[in-house]
Structure 1
Amino acid sequence: MWKICSVCCAWGLLLLISEVRTQSQRRPTFTCGGNITGESGVIGSQGYPGVYPPNTKCVWRITVPEGKVVVLSFRFIDLENDNLCRYDYVDVYSGHANGQRLGRFCGTFTPGALVSTGNKMLIQMVSDANTAGSGFLAVYSAAQPHERGDQYCGGRLVKPSGSFKTPNWPEKDYPAGVTCSWHIVAPKNQIIEVKFEKFDVERDNYCRYDYVAIFNGGEINDAKRIGKYCGDSPPAPVFSEGNQLLIQFLSDLSLTADGFIGHYKFRPKKFTITTVPPTTTTQPTTTRPIPLKYSAALCRQKCKRKGTPESHYCSSNFVITGTVISAVTRGGSMYATISIINVYKEGNLAIQQAGKTMSTKIVILCKKCPFVRRGLNYIFMGQADEEGRGMIAPQHFVMAFKAKNQRAFNVLKNKQC
């Protein structure tokens, strides 16, 4: 009898440990605002990393111990882009009431560390009726007055060669909730080569959680991104187009891994590049969306929709109906966030979900063909790139969607291809 009891107790203990581990690996949920105290913490927009809701105003009040200041660092930001940040934005204030505004932010640019003058800071996020993105993730910590809130990774690299690595490398895994940015600057007549010696970053088919992203130039700009990497295989060598590269590493708040060490060196501009294009380490495909390279030629053609939903259904990788909640022009293309009404064919389209709300990212290669408007409903039939982002070219099928069309599209869902 005693043996049976011992076995039951041991089994119960194992179940309890398993449940605790499972809970520790669950991604945290973020709510709209709140009063936050302590030496450090994490703040995220409502529903992050899913789409934040429209028509909201969320206020977070941070208080650290007396005699210290608040240092706030944004790890990720994705709000509707506008030069004046008039629609969706995050305001940061020193103090809780009538304090100095330290900045207003929108779009995808990640600002540097923000420091309050006292032990209090206020963050306010506002969204309008018609648009949404993934929101923001930020960490705060208490620091002595006038103490710099510098990151413990990243920096500006100007020597002819050098290395960069994740925090804790190689002793233990990189920490959760970290952003590191290395800005490599070579002389104007040289380019930069980057190689990874060891690489182990949380694996995901679309590198949504932990990843390394590399950009031409000195800014985080999707149009200049060379690649986005995760998994446990080192990426192929990367070469810059000019004399600057930006390497960004981001980890979310759950699972971590060993991390990486990489090396860079300056090369003459005429250096022959014989390597294959950089790839996402989770799948053997190029990471820069290939269609963007030929969109300029496509866009010179006359814009005219051809075919029917039935004729395009089988040839399309994904088929969805949804509302355009944000649309930002970059170069000759339009980058849109779609709040999904219905999914008829998912393919490898990356879909985010926050509660009952689903959304996805779509790039319309020619910004005026097809032309879509924010706030309106459409059916989209197109191809998804290797990162799960929808690509719509002029030859793909897009049309305005109305409730009365629902029955016809439900028939398509049962179509055998």
Structure 2
Amino acid sequence: MRGAGAWAPLCLLLAAAAAQPSRPQPPERPVFTCGGILTGESGFIGSEGFPGVYPPNSKCTWKITVPEGKVVVLNFRFIDLESDNLCRYDFVDVYNGHSNGQRIGRFCGTFRPGALVSSGNKMMVQMISDANTAGNGFMAMFSAAEPNERGDQYCGGLLERPSGSFKTPNWPDRDYPAGVTCVWHIVAPKNQLIELKFEKFDVERDNYCRYDYVAVFNGGEINDAERIGKYCGDSPPAPIVSERNELLIQFLSDLSLTADGFIGHYKFRPKKLPATTAPPVTTTFPVTTGLKPTVALCQQKCRRSGTLESNYCLSNFVLAGTVITTIPRGGSLHATVSIINIYKEGNLAIQQAGKNMSAKVVVVCKQCPLLRRGLNYIIMGQVGEDGRGKIMPNSFIMMFKTKNQKLLDALKNKQC
């Protein structure tokens, strides 16, 4: 019975091991997969394989549901995605509810936003990556909270009453906290508009509102094309009236300086219908008989006139930047410029993602002056009512070179 003899020592060893007091096992590291359905009072979500590098060409969706009557609070503990000033390549989107309806925010790079709060008991998180650069992804914790128990870090929500107010956390007792993200979604009946007014306003000042800011959007999601304005400093923004029956207000503070904050008020108002149908407004350029203004304008010879010095004071804005997108629309060209330096801002709308800034410009005649994607330019022009730069055939545009820097810095201090 050779087999029975061989088993005897092993049985004794197992019996001895069983007699020893058991050691507590270390907690298992959670395994993060691409998306999922999560329910309950709290839990974690993370990019696929976190903390390892997330895979390319992926689209992962997490649907979170907390108990009925509560709201979802999402706190990012870590984020490291490919950085881009418009978050076009790798990014995390956070939505109210379980559909691609109201987007609360889009994040990339390493900027960690503050707490994000849904208006109901559902939230959706979606991460998209392209084929190129990757990082370690993200990890976030979700938890359930009572809608009326928003602590220092909780703010925002759905506002549907005919009038009301909204304010930064801690207002008016003390400064708003660092690392906060608040989103208020105001929804009026279909046939009404929303009027918005800030009573008191004090948000960390920065020339480009890169750190702490309030942004207001037409519609129900954060969309740069629908942004009405971005505000900081201690001067309240001018009263705002929505174009439609929805407005989104986003407040964001970074992890450093804070300030008093703000309180704002809103009310619904009826749409005013014009008594007669007004003809479309056309831009007042010099025209020749029988030609549309832009046609006549774009038939002129494309020629840059004057110098950097002579055009500086004639322009609303002056910047140096890299053209990162160009989209032809009709006879014009819509471009996004990543800003290298800005020398004169005027009313130009500056967009910010992380620490990168960009602006949108419209070349009225798409071939004149010619802007090519990927190249660096000095751009001077006027600013339209929508905050976009307007580039006319006679606007001063030239290639940006390091040797121009000293002259531009000198012009920046010039009194016009």
What band does the TM-score fall into relative to the shorter chain?
0.5 to 0.7
Deviation for aligned residue 1:363: 1.4
Match of 1:110 in 2: 106
Q: 1:249 to 1:263 in 2, by over 3 A?
A: same
The answer on whether the counterparts of 2:202 and 2:259 sit within 8 Å (CA) in structure 1 is yes
User: Equivalent pairs: percent with the same residue?
Assistant: 48
- CA offsets per residue over residues 362-392 of structure 1, 9 Å max, x none? 5134372434222234443335789997553
- CA offsets per residue over residues 306-360 of structure 1, 9 Å max, x none? 44464464123466665423446789662422464xx7x923489999xxx9975
Question: In the alignment, which of 213, 220, 223 is matched to residue 221 of structure 1?
Answer: 223
Match of 2:48 in 1: none
CA distance in 2, matches of 1:159, 1:182: 13
Deviation for aligned residue 1:159: 1.2
The answer on whether the counterparts of 1:78 and 1:108 sit within 8 Å (CA) in structure 2 is no
Match of 1:361 in 2: 359
Paired letter, 1:392: I
The answer on whether the counterparts of 1:90 and 1:124 sit within 8 Å (CA) in structure 2 is yes
Q: Give the structure with higher Rg (CA).
A: 2
The question of 1:346 aligning with 2:343 is answered yes
Deviation for aligned residue 1:184: 0.9
Q: Cα RMSD (Å) of the superposition?
A: 5.7
CA distance in 2, matches of 1:219, 1:249: 14
Deviation for aligned residue 1:141: 4.6
- CA offsets per residue over residues 254-304 of structure 1, 9 Å max, x none? 1111111212111122399xxxxxxxxxxxxxxxxxxx9959987543165
- CA offsets per residue over residues 94-134 of structure 1, 9 Å max, x none? xxxxxxxx999xx99628889xxxxxx998966869xxxxx
- CA offsets per residue over residues 7-61 of structure 1, 9 Å max, x none? xxxxxxxxxxxxxxxxxxxxxxxxxxxxxxxx99xxxxxxxxxxxxxxxxx9489
The question of 1:302 aligning with 2:284 is answered no
Name the SS for the 2:311 alignment partner.
Answer: coil
The answer on whether the counterparts of 1:313 and 1:381 sit within 8 Å (CA) in structure 2 is no
Deviation for aligned residue 1:206: 3.0
The answer on whether the counterparts of 1:305 and 1:397 sit within 8 Å (CA) in structure 2 is no
Match of 1:52 in 2: none
Deviation for aligned residue 1:90: 2.9
The answer on whether the counterparts of 1:169 and 1:261 sit within 8 Å (CA) in structure 2 is yes
Deviation for aligned residue 1:242: 2.1
Match of 1:177 in 2: 179
CA distance in 1, matches of 2:202, 2:311: 36
The answer on whether the counterparts of 2:321 and 2:338 sit within 8 Å (CA) in structure 1 is yes
* Superposition TM-score, scaled by structure 2 size: 0.53
CA distance in 2, matches of 1:337, 1:267: 37
CA distance in 1, matches of 2:394, 2:54: 46
Match of 1:15 in 2: none
The answer on whether the counterparts of 1:59 and 1:125 sit within 8 Å (CA) in structure 2 is no
Name the SS for the 1:110 alignment partner.
Answer: strand
Q: 1:365 to 1:217 in 2, by over 3 A?
A: farther
Q: 1:113 to 1:378 in 2, by over 3 A?
A: same
Match of 1:11 in 2: none
Name the SS for the 1:204 alignment partner.
Answer: coil
Match of 2:90 in 1: 89
Match of 1:9 in 2: none
Paired letter, 1:336: T
- CA offsets per residue over residues 67-107 of structure 1, 9 Å max, x none? xxx95559x9984779xx6xx22369xxxxxxxxx999xx9
CA distance in 2, matches of 1:314, 1:346: 15
Deviation for aligned residue 1:361: 3.1
CA distance in 2, matches of 1:322, 1:366: 19
Match of 1:380 in 2: 379
Name the SS for the 2:184 alignment partner.
Answer: strand
Name the SS for the 2:225 alignment partner.
Answer: helix
The answer on whether the counterparts of 1:163 and 1:261 sit within 8 Å (CA) in structure 2 is yes
CA distance in 2, matches of 1:299, 1:109: 37
The question of 1:202 aligning with 2:200 is answered no
Q: Which runs of 5+ in 1 are unaligned?
A: 1-38, 41-57, 62-69, 93-101, 115-120, 130-134, 273-291
Paired letter, 1:393: M
Deviation for aligned residue 1:407: 7.5
Q: Which moved more, 1:297-306 or 1:217-226?
A: 297-306
Superposition pairs for residues 207-356 of structure 1, below 5 Å? 207-270=209-272, 294=283, 299-300=294-295, 301-302=297-298, 304=300, 306-308=302-304, 310-311=306-307, 313-316=309-312, 317=315, 322-327=321-326, 334-338=334-338, 340=340, 346-348=343-345
Number of residues of Structure 1 aligned to a counterpart in Structure 2: 300
The question of 1:393 aligning with 2:392 is answered yes
Q: Which runs of 5+ in 2 are unaligned?
A: 1-41, 44-51, 56-72, 108-115, 119-124, 275-280, 286-291
The answer on whether the counterparts of 1:325 and 1:339 sit within 8 Å (CA) in structure 2 is no
CA distance in 1, matches of 2:188, 2:126: 39
Paired letter, 2:164: G
